[in-house]
Amino acid sequence: MREWDVEGVWDGQFLRDGAAPGEGVPFTLTLKEGWFGRFRGTVREDPARGGVPEEGRIRGRVKGFNLRFVKWMPVLYMPDGTTASRYILETQGVDVQHEIGHPPVIYEGRYDPENDRARGAWLFGPYKIFIWIDGVSVRHEVERATGTWEIRRSKAWPIGPSDGVTHAFPPQR
């Protein structure tokens, strides 16, 4: 049984374990509910605060007050802000010829109905990425990362200028 309505726009932030409290990365989720507690949507992170500039995808499920979702970002960035493709070119001398997608990030948490927010933990990795290009095998390892996250229903929901939604971090053009 669904206890709460996940559909709408949610503003939040995620924080990597070991980071200082002010080092969180703000993001905006835009979610649509499906059947049987499932939902899907998009995510926009604030690139000025270390987020990925491209829009990502979300799929998840609500069960009672618990929720779990997976985030897929289209490009994997290194901690210094370069893409993984560029990093491989610079460190291994191999032109990957396309961007490498970020490994899936798993979010789990619980909704607090009194404050209309949810919070929890996230994790990804470790992952090994193998790419075969022109007879050359390239291997790139992504270390495990963990942290916490929190979202609150956006005050901007539901009216916005172009697509019906006001995003806290508008699409990069």
**pLDDT score for 156:** 64
Per-residue pLDDT of 30-67, as tens digits, reads 999 999 999 999 999 999 998 999 999 999 999 999 99
Domains, the chain, in order of start with CATH, read: 8-153 (2.40.128.120)
> Dihedral through CA 48, CA 155, CA 7, CA 50, nearest 10?
10
Judge contact between 58 and 40, C-beta under 8 A: yes
Tell me whether strands 145-153 and 117-124 are parallel, antiparallel or unpaired: antiparallel
Per-residue pLDDT of 101-137, as tens digits, reads 899 999 999 999 999 999 999 999 898 888 887 777 8
**pLDDT score for 163:** 45
